[in-house]
Amino acid sequence: MTEGIGSLLPFVLMFVVVYFFMIAPQMKRQKKEKKFASELKRGDRVITKSGMHGKIVDLFDKDNTCVIETLAGKIKFERSSISMEMSSALNKPETVK
């Protein structure tokens, strides 16, 4: 009986390590990205994951998309295609030295 539990212990420990170092951070990141996408508003300057810079001019909750105005015109994107990291860095107020 104890031999069976002893042989399962390494697998249980391996699962716990994988969960805390891989699965949990990924779930936390997904929640942050979903919150970021839901908090977008008109006038926000954003950068898409493909590198397109623009400003949000319209949001559609029905299909979870937004219209971004760029120098080339207006383009419709999925909200999930907007980069949270690059857009946050773009909107961060610059500090004066």
What are the pLDDT digits (tens) for 21-73? Answer: 999 999 999 999 999 988 899 999 999 999 999 999 999 999 999 999 999 99
**35 and 46, same domain (yes or no):** no
**23 and 70, same domain (yes or no):** no
Q: How far apart are CA 20 and CA 72, in angstroms?
A: 44
Q: How far apart are CA 77 and CA 53, in angstroms?
A: 12
Half-sphere exposure in the Cβ direction for 73 (13 Å, CA):
2
Q: Is pLDDT of 94 > 70?
A: no
Of the chain, the percentage scoring pLDDT greater than 90 comes to: 59
Is the pTM of the predicted complex or chain greater than 0.75?
no
Q: Is pLDDT of 78 > 70?
A: yes
**82 and 92, same domain (yes or no):** yes
Average pLDDT, the chain: 88
CATH number, domain with residue 79: 2.30.30.140
**82 and 59, same domain (yes or no):** yes
Number of domains in the chain: 2
**70 and 32, same domain (yes or no):** no
pLDDT confidence band for 97 (50 / 70 / 90)? low
